[in-house]
Amino acid sequence: MSNPALVVRDLTKSYDGRPVVDRLSMEAHAGQVTAVLGPNGAGKTTTIECCEGLRTPDSGEIRVLGMDPAAEASAARARVGVMLQDGGLPSGARALEVLTHVSTMYARPRSVDDLVDRLGLAGFAGTTVRRLSGGQRQRLALAIAVVGRPELVFLDEPSAGLDPQSRRAVWDLVRELRDTGVAIVLTTHLMDEAENLADRVYVVDHGSVVAEGTTEQLLAGREQTIRVETSTGLDVAIAASLLSQDTGSDWNAVEESPGVYLLHGEVTPAALRATTTWLVQADALAHRISTGRRTLEDVFLELTGRTLR
Ligand SMILES: Nc1ncnc2c1ncn2[C@@H]1O[C@H](COP(=O)(O)OP(=O)(O)OP(=O)(O)O)[C@@H](O)[C@H]1O
């Protein structure tokens, strides 16, 4: 594999003595989507902003296309695209003017018309940035991030809050960038975004990587789940022990939210029988029992004991 487009080694950043990024290491490669997945406050934005040269790390090493983003900021900026969560766009300028202006700053920009078309910007081309809705601003920020044909793009929550059609347009564009060899780093707390787009996922909690791998690797192993919706306060330890005993394989169980239980193991008829035995013993009526594939949400919950949002 070629040199990574992004290398982060042992990155640490504290605010007022409180570490929000804690010896975090990650890589991103050309032609891949790398997702940094974690709950609010996990340190995703801080990490990405250090990579963009917008914040100064306390310690650690960052290489962006082989460059130090702080010391070689202008050289890096020419080859790196950035979509910030808060836009960072001039509020009094009109949407299309901003995009066109940014495009003239690059030697070989993408077609502005094509981006307008792909991301549905025409409907608000003449609207000033301050009057754009959150979703419109996000799509404009994405167009600006990619108009200069960057080799590496940072996208902070690219499709959060978008309607389904805009979301699809954003995902299609991200996939196309990936297929043309761009390295894409996206932060998200949206499971389906990571599952649909990412080639590699870093799960971050409290400023550190708690798991990493391809989506398949993270979802491998106990691939199946029995989800039970019933009353609250059931003992998950009893469920895990009954299931393990009756199936002869390992099971674990968590209460995902009040009254919703996720039982992870190899789903067999015996496992379903043990599940109903557990409910009968607890004198609980299930409103719904379903079986399904394990999701990144389940992985995250098992690793951290917390839901993503
Ligand atoms: N400039 C700052 N001064 C003090 N604390 C900060 C500053 N910027 C961020 N923080 C704190 O650092 C922690 C990590 O924030 P960060 O924005 O990196 O998290 P995040 O994972 O991107 O979260 P979200 O999903 O909500 O965007 C949070 O507790 C936040 O309040």
pLDDT digits (tens, 9 = 90+) for 175-218: 999 999 999 999 988 878 888 899 999 999 999 999 999 888 88
User: Would you say 224 and 294 are in contact if contact means Cβ atoms under 8 Å apart?
Assistant: yes
Choose the weakest-confidence range: 86-95, 146-155, 180-189, 283-292: 86-95
Looking up tokens 């050289």 gives: 75
pLDDT of 151 reads: 97
Q: 238 C-alpha to center of ligand 1: Å?
A: 39
The whole-number pLDDT of residue 16 equals 93
Tens-place pLDDT, residues 8-40: 999 999 999 999 999 999 999 999 999 998 888
pTM passes above 0.90? no
pLDDT of res. 132: 92
pLDDT band at 287 (very low <50, low <70, confident <90, very high): very high
Q: What are residue 146's phi and psi, to 5 degrees?
A: -110, -5
For 62-114, what is each residue's pLDDT tens digit? 999 999 998 888 888 889 999 876 667 888 999 999 999 999 999 999 999 99
Structure tokens at 273: 């029988």
Greater confidence (236 vs 292) lies with 236
Which residue stretches of 21-129 are H helix?
A: 44-51, 73-79, 95-103, 112-118
Cα(21)–Cα(90) distance, integer angstroms: 30
User: Separation of 35 CA from ligand 1 center, angstroms?
Assistant: 18
Q: In angstroms, what is the span from residue 60 Cα to ligand 1's centroid?
A: 18
3-state secondary structure of 10: strand
Mean pLDDT, the chain, rounded, equals 90
Q: How far is the CA of 15 from the centre of ligand 1 (A)?
A: 9
Band the pLDDT of 301: cuts 50, 70, 90. Answer: confident
**Domains in the chain: ranges and CATH:** 6-216 (3.40.50.300), 224-293 (3.30.70.2470)
Please identify, by atom number, the ligand 1 atom nearest to the C-alpha of residue 55: 1
Q: ipTM score of the complex? A: 0.94
Question: Going by CA atoms, what residue is nearest to atom 31 of ligand 1?
Answer: 41
Q: Whose CA is nearest to atom 3 of ligand 1?
A: 15
Residue 87's pLDDT is: 62
- How far, in Å, from the CA of 8 to the mean position of ligand 1? 18
Q: Which of 36, 40, 190 to mutate to test the pocket of ligand 1 (most atoms within 8 A of CB)?
A: 40
Alpha-carbon span 182 to 142, nearest angstrom: 14
Q: What's the mean pLDDT in 255-273? A: 92
Whether pLDDT at 309 is above 60? no
Least confident of 70-79, 243-252, 275-284: 70-79
Residue nearest to atom 8 of ligand 1 (CA): 46
Q: Is the CB of residue 85 less than 8 Å from the CB of residue 125?
A: no
Confidence of residue 223 (pLDDT cuts 50, 70, 90): low
Which residue ranges have their beta carbon within 6 Å of ligand 1? 15, 20, 38, 40-46, 189
Q: Which atom of ligand 1 is nearest to the CA of 46?
A: 18
Q: What's residue 104's pLDDT?
A: 95
Helix (H, G, I), strand (E, B) or coil at 236: helix
Cα(118) to centroid(ligand 1), Å: 32
Atom 24 (ligand 1) nearest CA:
40
Task: Report phi then psi at 88, rounded to 5.
Answer: 65, 30
